[in-house]
Amino acid sequence: MTTRLLKSSDSLAYHRTLDYYSESPLHQLTTLANWLEVNKIFIKDESARFGLKSFKALGASYAIHQLVSTQPKIQTFCTATDGNHGKAVAFSARMHQKQAVIIVPKQTSELRIKSIEEEKALVIRYDGDYDGACREAEQLSDENGWQLVQDVAWNRYKKIPALIMAGYLTLFKELEGMLNTHGRPLIDVIFLQAGVGSFAASGVWYYVNRYMSRKPKIVIVEPLQADGIQESFKQHKLSAPKGDQSSIMAGLNCGIPSSIALAILQSGVDAIIRIDDDYAREAMQMLYFPLEEDISIIAGESGAAGLAGYLAILKEDKFKPLKKQLNITKDSRLLFFNTEGDTDPESFHKNATGL
């Protein structure tokens, strides 16, 4: 079902019909590439997408559009979130003159909650972690007749997460003609950050199906405190992270991965790494205070996670074999995705400036 939906959906065509749509920019950081001893560094910058500072609205808007098209009587959409997905659901619901109820786990910052409320959503605080918030959202939706729009799949709940993943394909399809020629990618290694894995799986599905055996190598990056993808790979089944989900990379502070995402990741990932928060801070600062002529990029903690993963590979002895396995050399071309801007301005200021 997931593969069929991904193949048949054309989220890019839908997004192009929206008045507020514009293609997110692709930046090339030449000086940073020289400093990090590779040939090219590209960053697809989602920090201004739809004015929400995050790529998440691509998935929520497409899924809600599909739901409203077939079930126009839906009045209320509900989801659990660490922040960005909930804001995207609230935004998308409001665009269709619908209501949104957003469940947030206890570690969600006040600024993220306020940002969701600004989209006219009702926010319910859940005194527990992300997985518990997801269960709460499902239960409340069942009790109240709301439509659940969760970006994580489980048994008997797969179609809507698949539609969200299909929505994310827009940002990868926007790169067509920029980073490929004659069906060959102009990049060698891609870094994709992962929470529940839906964004990363969308990227893996795109590159596997677009390039098949010629696809770039793909590295998944997770926080040390929220390593559900790596743990699931180790256990050969859906597994909870070992950490306490307390990373500054708030958008990645997730629990058990999405079942449909995990299956796709297993088909095309070359490596999975866990990183300390210090690498996220370093990457944020590196992007915000650029070298020489490079453009300044506002990358939130989760947005900088891909670059942070590469910094960890460069600096930690345990990753030396991985760098060799990925064949990263002075001729390599790397692609990163800045999936969020300063979605929590206070946290961004603290971590990007070091003040």
Give me the active site residues, please. Answer: 56, 82
Q: Return the closest-CA partner of residue 326 out of 192, 191, 189, 196.
A: 189
Distance CA 166, CA 59 (A): 7
Structure tokens at 299: 């990358």
Q: What SS3 state is found at 121?
A: coil
Q: What SS3 state is found at 9?
A: coil
CB distance 39 to 331 below 8 Å: yes
Torsion of the alpha carbons at 46, 49, 52 and 54, rounded to the nearest 10: -30
Q: What is the DSSP string of 282-310?
A: HHHHHHHS--TTSPP----TTTTHHHHHH
Q: Is 109 exposed, middle or buried (0-12, 13-18, 19+ CB in 10 A)?
A: middle
Q: Return the closest-CA partner of residue 24 out of 4, 1, 43.
A: 43
| Amino acid making up residue 115 | S
CB distance 76 to 146 below 8 Å: yes
Sign of the CA dihedral running 216, 25, 17, 64? positive
Q: What is the DSSP string of 19-40?
A: TT--PPPEEE-HHHHHHTTSSE
Structure tokens at 276: 């300390």
> Distance of CA 307 to CAs 40, 42, 196, 226, Å?
13, 10, 19, 17
- Tell me how far apart the terminal alpha carbons of the chain are, to the nearest angstrom: 48
Distance CA 38, CA 32 (A): 9
